[in-house]
Structure 1
Amino acid sequence: MTLLISSVFPVVVIMIYLYYRDKYEKEPIRVLIRAFFGGVLAVFTTLIIVWPLHFFEDSFSGSISSALFQSFFMAAIPEELSKFIFLYWFIWKDKNFNENFDGIIYAVFVSMGFACVENILYVFEGGLEVATARAITAVPAHAIFGIIMGYYFAHAKFQPNRKHKNLFKGVFLAIMGHGFYNFPLNYYSEIIDKHPEAAVLAVFLFTLFLVFLYIVGFRKIRKHSESSVFKG
């Protein structure tokens, strides 16, 4: 029970935080729940996409190429594409999607559905230490990827003449953020035994990029919140 609570807790905290940051017109709980379960379903879509890619893992023998393959093709690309599919499918035509901030909150709830399942799997395998580490790294990172995607998802909705450009931009930047978040970690696991000094650099770069993601996320939340059409 402790592991389950520790897995779900950071997800719930982030969703509550975003819900209360939506200051001017809160989204219906039923639509937020739908978005969350869209993220849960995205896990299964990701598994389907990733399964054939496992056959290519041995083709990348170098530390950098292997880390890039794992970071982007085995994680960032299938995961963010899967989240986007359900975000668009479940939310795009919903009448409650009626202002910029909604794009962020719905995208984050989709991301949190995905992160919840992923976190449960990792924490039940790795224990409380993994739960603590992921509570301040992987789970917030998924939220930030959702913020980035949702930011441009909203622009696509409310700037129809630039719909496809903004949809692409949101997915592309979420993939880039996710991939470059994962890369130092995967590179670290590839080189820790042979090149411990380079592994230290990988940890430093990971920390630096995580801080950068936090800054980007909070800025985009503030920008869309301040531009709300329901602001008095």
Structure 2
Amino acid sequence: MARRRDLIERSADDSRDLQEISTWEPRTVLDRAACKVYAGISYGLPAILLLAAMGITALILLSPAIVVAEEPLVSVFFLLSVVPAALLAAYIWFADITTKEPLSLLVATYVLIILLAPVAAIVNSAAGLFISDATILGSFLFFFLVVGPVEETIKMVAVRVYAYRSDSFDAVIDGAVYGAVAGLGFASIENAIYIGAYLTDLEAGTGLLVGASEIATTRALAGPGHVIYSTIAGFYLGLAKFNPRNAGPLVVKGILIAAVIHGTYNFSVQFVPGLGAALLPIGPGVAFVGFIIVFNLVFGYYLYRKIDRYRRTYREVRDDAGKRDLTPERTEFEPTQR
């Protein structure tokens, strides 16, 4: 895009020197120093922030790492805890009826959310100092106003800062794919934190492995929820990319839907399984597992309907066009090169 010019520059002839009147170029020592400082900020600050994020993530994962070092077999339970979420994310990737997203962008999104997730943990902890979840009202406010919005926003930031800018992000459905990967990454680090914290207080040996299997099973059931929430938000992020005039409201809508579903799960899982066990001839454990499965199935079906509608419309449009390839158009957000 052509550089916009000041009125004086537009009116003056080319022979007039307009330095620091309406134009500027580095001429003095101070000018060149300012350029160097700006370059340092432009390239150094992101690197510093990235290193800080890596350091915070390392500290948060220190406890799980110690547990694994003492009992390497526990790492198997860490991996098993993310299998259901990984399978769901793989399905979302497979359901992308357009061109498949490159592995490099999927991995980058996964790594970015691993690094950004501690931000959500810090914000949640800070908010917990002011909003107590010990009461029903406090719990409601904490999960709906803090946990849900913060975690779903962080996931979308992980998609927005890199994959969103790529030429490969060339269809609305791609937002769902990258959202699913962000959800998988968030579930991975959250599972590691929960399992590590739970096992730190247990003694090594058989007790440790039994405890690992129990907490890993619980986290395996909860993991797919993160994928469902962020896939929904990611779909709306995809809509935003191809509807720039309404991009802001679309992003907000997606995060709001995901945050409400997320908050509903966190809030209701505290008492609905207990009510189910009290009213039905089932044990607390069965009620707990049953609630999580039913909850994920309900909102998983909602997500399935949204993706299926996109797939069916894609096929119909392609058939109407004589089954020719649908070539994606470049959006105004995309650079001329990858």
Aligned to 2:308: 222
* 8 Å Cα contact 1:39-1:113 kept in structure 2: yes
Equivalent position to 1:155, from 211, 222, 239? 239
Aligned to 1:107: 179
Greater CA radius of gyration, 1 or 2? 2
Aligned to 1:87: 159
Listed one character per residue, the Cα deviations across residues 174-203 of structure 1 (whole Å, up to 9, x for unaligned) are 1001001111113459xx5x9x74898x96
Amino acid at match of 2:247: K
Aligned to 1:116: 188
Equivalent position to 1:183, from 242, 255, 267? 267
Listed one character per residue, the Cα deviations across residues 126-168 of structure 1 (whole Å, up to 9, x for unaligned) are 5223323333x32111111012101211111112222111111
Structure 1, unmatched stretches of 5+, are none
* 8 Å Cα contact 2:222-2:292 kept in structure 1: no
Amino acid at match of 2:94: Y
Q: Percent identity?
A: 25
* 8 Å Cα contact 1:39-1:114 kept in structure 2: yes
More divergent stretch after superposition (219-228 vs 145-154): 219-228
| Structure 1 vs Structure 2 CA RMSD | 3.0
TM-score (norm 2): 0.59
* 8 Å Cα contact 2:236-2:254 kept in structure 1: yes
Aligned to 2:19: none
Amino acid at match of 1:222: D
Structure 2, unmatched stretches of 5+, are 1-74, 199-210, 324-338
Aligned to 1:2: 76
Aligned to 1:131: 216
Amino acid at match of 2:232: I
Does 2:128 correspond to 1:54?
Answer: yes
Amino acid at match of 1:216: Y
Does 2:239 correspond to 1:165?
Answer: no
TM-score (norm 1): 0.83
Count of paired positions: 225
* 8 Å Cα contact 2:180-2:231 kept in structure 1: yes
Amino acid at match of 1:179: G
Specify whether residues 4 and 198 from structure 1 end up closer, same or farther in structure 2 by C-alpha distance, changes over 3 A only. same
* 8 Å Cα contact 2:229-2:262 kept in structure 1: yes
Structure with the greater relative contact order (CA < 8 A, sep ≥ 6): 1 or 2? 1
Amino acid at match of 1:152: Y
* 2-structure distance, mates of 1:198, 1:73: 30
Does 2:299 correspond to 1:213?
Answer: yes
Specify whether residues 38 and 71 from structure 1 end up closer, same or farther in structure 2 by C-alpha distance, changes over 3 A only. same
* 8 Å Cα contact 2:176-2:231 kept in structure 1: yes
